Structure 1
Amino acid sequence: MRHILVFAKTPYAKTPYDQWLAGSGIVPVIVTAREYAQGYSHLPHVHAFDAYDTNQLVEKTALRLAREFAVEAVFARAEADVVRAAQLRELLGLPGQHTASALAFRDKVVMKDHLAGGPVDVPAYRRLDSAYTALDFVAEHGYPVVIKPVSESGSLGAAIIRDEAELDAYLASPWRGTSEIEVFVPGQMYHVDGLVAGGEVVFVHPFRYLNDCLSFRNNDWVANLPLTREDPLYDRLVKAARAVLAELPTPPQTAFHAEFWITPDDRLVFCEIASRTGGGMISAMVRHAFGIDLDKEWLYAECGLPSTLGTSEYRPAGALCIPPRNGVLEQLPTATAEQPGCVREVMLTGSVGQEFHGGVKSGLFLAGYVVDGDSEEDVAANLEHVAGWFSDNSRWRPAESCGGTA
């Protein structure tokens, strides 16, 4: 029996590793977060941890298991696991992404150091290690600027600083550790998602955001919609993503999620790239639109299994993520009969009676939907319709009125 180690920071319904590997002779050894453990409990080797992202017993246990089962590969699809998985592969001499590559895809400054002066426009940036650096950068480049952690995902911790008062407020808040400061880039944000297998880009497609990555801060929804091949931005975005992958130490097998701006004066500017599948409902949308399960195909590539990529017919589809509001959730629109007919997949991450404190990051949501339609314009309208339907059919109450937390 062959084994692989899987850092599984996802619910089983999203990543049924045993089902994907059925018939391959490969058994997954699962290391997961406590909240996802129940879903994997039918598997023979499951180890769950509290405080998963920062608990270093995860690394200790992973190393022990990797040696005990003589694993052939290590698979990790979550941002929190990119570096720890790379370090483990390197320590054990296993194939796949190693530490230098992982840092180039996770640390935004290392990433831009690789890309600066290359074929894709990169905004002015600097590693922010003290208040002096921020003051010096603003003196050189002016406002607005963006300050964000070097290694978070989903726009977590990002702050747009528009003037000296906002900078003062930022500097007065508790120090957040090493961050990056860069000039603010105006414009529409797009993302390009794809898969590298055998050192080749075997799937790539650009998408646009409806609303934007920071919509969650206003407890507003964000959606993703594929561009048509006829869209004038299609080729530009694909070319930019390929150029970025060529400049970085891209591993031979990886999914990727890259983000770019198109500015009001039509410049294409790099934002960031991750060596993983996109968050939210992006993977589910790709599966419905293109017939490709990026996570499964990536797993197969890491395990040396033959690809099941086909030439499925494209079907217009979009992804919708709705963050929670502030308060206690009293009602969810769960009745299937009421659901708009354009909905193809639903993922709910909360339950009635639970207390929430608004949106946390762009990839986390209360309700996720994959929506289809006859055309991209039809899908865009349906995404707005489903967001409105969800709002009309869910109910909240203020947390303080319930006499405690749920």
Structure 2
Amino acid sequence: MTLLLLNRRPLLDRLASWFPDCAEELVVVTDPSALGDAGPAAWSGRFRHLEVVDDYAAPETGDLVERLVRAHAVERILTTAESDVLRAARLRHRLGLPGQTGASALAYRDKQVMKSLAGAAGVPVAPMRLVHDGAELADFAREHGLPVVVKAVDGVACLGQRVLTDQRSLREPGTGPWPAPLLAEAWIEGDTFHVDGLMADGAVLLSHPSRYLNSQWLTHHGSAPLVSGMLAPDDPLFARLQRAVRDVVRALPGPAGACAFHAEFFRTADDRIVLCEIACRAGGGSIVEAFELATGVNLHGASLLGQAGRAVDLPGPGTVLRHGYATWYPPVETATLRRLPRHCPLPGTVKYVPSGRVGHRYHGPDSPSHRVADLFFRLPDGGTGDGLTDRLREVDRWWAGAAQWDFADAAEVPAARPEHA
């Protein structure tokens, strides 16, 4: 069987462990960023065919895929990134290939379709409406109150999302004309959780709930670190979140074969579990690595095997070793990194990777040097939510005291000799 992988993840070095015959059966179309520092020559001969596409997101990439499918008699198209879900589904339909359908891909990419289906099945969701202009947005705010969240229906994480808190912001939700209908949602106040795992044919195969210390909104727009930890099975929220994600997966037209998912939920002050969103791909950031440390399952690899129509090994009961992770990004404001800890002394530390450059001036979290450090840590067996939250706060406090940013320096700062704490 010949398979084509649409790829923008740095996982090429893992493909041989998932597809031992990848040199004969795998055609890879990849973004240059996934190659690492080695460049295309380092991958020569490791796949049946490799195409490095400079403008990976361009429509012409679809034309290239069609040519490669015909030239290599490709039987299945595989993906790992959310931006490829709909593109791959349309290509499968046009080329008559098996795999996730357009209806399934749309349900997991279009948040209005997603939450309409989930809500109709009884899953609690925020009040929402497609809005085409400021007048419709103001009507929605009058009906549901402020704040209002405005986002693209196919957005990723909180990128491009806005939270409108007053009448002036309602009149100016963007910097230019609205290119398409936006999704307006009522603000949901509460703690945020994510559930990660594998699904197939509308059923959950494997899942584990985790708690975010800070919301995704605060991470992307408020300079808060991304800190998360897996819930213990005896935590009362563990079973509730597993039930919630089963209800969501059952409500949406799911892909056949094992497929990774990443779902996010709110727990409100009145103890409701409300769906934020779900994606039919592995979670971003450090979720995949933390999940693999805990379960032995790489969500990218399992999802690729499932899309290829192949079996996936699942861990037995009681074999999960709970982990947490933290990722620190540059602040939203322009700032210079003055001190970066070289080691993490916290108990349970599994791996700490400092990647920032002391003396470097960062221009927000979307600059080329996107993250400055990652931490993976083991969590003790058992324990309820309060103990987990305390552990996550301990990680947050350590970083706040060990790292140092300079927000006052307005001049360009030359590269400096690293000074580690």
The TM-score range, normalised by the shorter chain, is 0.7 to 0.9
Q: Contact between 1:198 and 1:301, CA under 8 Å: does it hold in 2?
A: no
2:256 aligned with 1:235, yes or no?
no
Q: CA RMSD in A?
A: 2.8
Aligned to 1:201: 204
The alpha-carbon deviation at position 120 of structure 1 amounts to 0.8
Percent of paired sites with the same residue: 33
Mapped partners of 1:206, 1:373: distance in 2: 14
Query: Which of 98, 103, 108 matches 1:105?
Result: 108
* 1:316 partner letter: R
Task: Give CA deviations for 1:21-44 in whole Å, capped at 9, x if unaligned.
Answer: 125786322222222234564134
Task: Give CA deviations for 1:213-261 in whole Å, capped at 9, x if unaligned.
Answer: 1222222202121112212122221111111111111112321111111
Aligned to 2:59: 56
What secondary structure, in the 3-state scheme, does the structure 2 residue paired with 1:205 have? Answer: strand
2:357 aligned with 1:357, yes or no?
no
Task: Give CA deviations for 1:71-114 in whole Å, capped at 9, x if unaligned.
Answer: 22211111111111111122222221121211110111111222
Q: How does 1:188-267 map to 2 (within 5 A)?
A: 188-197=191-200, 200-216=203-219, 217-253=221-257, 254-267=259-272
How many residue pairs were aligned?
397
Aligned to 1:137: 140
What secondary structure, in the 3-state scheme, does the structure 2 residue paired with 1:400 have? Answer: coil
Aligned to 2:279: 274
Aligned to 1:314: 320
Give the TM-score, by structure 2 length. Answer: 0.84
Mapped partners of 2:325, 2:356: distance in 1: 18
Greater Cα offset, 15-24 or 4-13: 15-24
What secondary structure, in the 3-state scheme, does the structure 2 residue paired with 1:224 have? Answer: strand
Aligned to 2:412: 401
Displaced runs of 4+ in structure 1, greater than 6 A? none
Aligned to 1:3: 2
Q: Contact between 1:372 and 1:379, CA under 8 Å: does it hold in 2?
A: no
The alpha-carbon distance between structure 1 residues 165 and 219, as it changes in their structure 2 partners (threshold 3 A), is same
Q: Contact between 2:323 and 2:377, CA under 8 Å: does it hold in 1?
A: yes
Give the TM-score, by structure 1 length. Answer: 0.87
What secondary structure, in the 3-state scheme, does the structure 2 residue paired with 1:374 have? Answer: coil
The alpha-carbon deviation at position 187 of structure 1 amounts to 1.0
Mapped partners of 1:347, 1:73: distance in 2: 36
Q: Contact between 1:331 and 1:352, CA under 8 Å: does it hold in 2?
A: yes
What secondary structure, in the 3-state scheme, does the structure 2 residue paired with 1:127 have? Answer: strand
Aligned to 2:300: 295
Q: Contact between 1:280 and 1:368, CA under 8 Å: does it hold in 2?
A: no
2:372 aligned with 1:373, yes or no?
no
What secondary structure, in the 3-state scheme, does the structure 1 residue paired with 2:216 have? Answer: coil
Aligned to 1:90: 93
Greater Cα offset, 238-247 or 157-166: 157-166
Query: Which of 119, 124, 147 matches 1:121?
Result: 124
What secondary structure, in the 3-state scheme, does the structure 1 residue paired with 2:215 have? Answer: coil
The alpha-carbon deviation at position 316 of structure 1 amounts to 2.2
* 1:228 partner letter: A
Mapped partners of 2:22, 2:84: distance in 1: 25
Unaligned ranges ≥5, structure 2: 416-421
2:72 aligned with 1:78, yes or no?
no
Aligned to 1:342: 348
Q: Contact between 1:371 and 1:382, CA under 8 Å: does it hold in 2?
A: no
Query: Which of 18, 25, 28 matches 2:26?
Result: 28
Q: Contact between 2:213 and 2:393, CA under 8 Å: does it hold in 1?
A: no
Q: Contact between 1:129 and 1:179, CA under 8 Å: does it hold in 2?
A: yes
Q: Contact between 1:5 and 1:28, CA under 8 Å: does it hold in 2?
A: yes
The alpha-carbon distance between structure 1 residues 118 and 49, as it changes in their structure 2 partners (threshold 3 A), is same
* 1:370 partner letter: F
Query: Which of 5, 16, 19 matches 1:18?
Result: 16
The alpha-carbon deviation at position 350 of structure 1 amounts to 5.4
Q: Contact between 1:218 and 1:359, CA under 8 Å: does it hold in 2?
A: no
Q: Contact between 1:355 and 1:399, CA under 8 Å: does it hold in 2?
A: no
Q: Contact between 2:361 and 2:413, CA under 8 Å: does it hold in 1?
A: no
* 1:400 partner letter: A
Mapped partners of 2:313, 2:22: distance in 1: 13
What secondary structure, in the 3-state scheme, does the structure 2 residue paired with 1:189 have? Answer: strand
Mapped partners of 1:351, 1:12: distance in 2: 24
Mapped partners of 1:378, 1:269: distance in 2: 23
Mapped partners of 2:336, 2:150: distance in 1: 32
Greater Cα offset, 195-204 or 56-65: 195-204
The alpha-carbon deviation at position 394 of structure 1 amounts to 4.7
* 2:412 partner letter: S
Unaligned ranges ≥5, structure 1: none
Q: Contact between 1:328 and 1:399, CA under 8 Å: does it hold in 2?
A: no
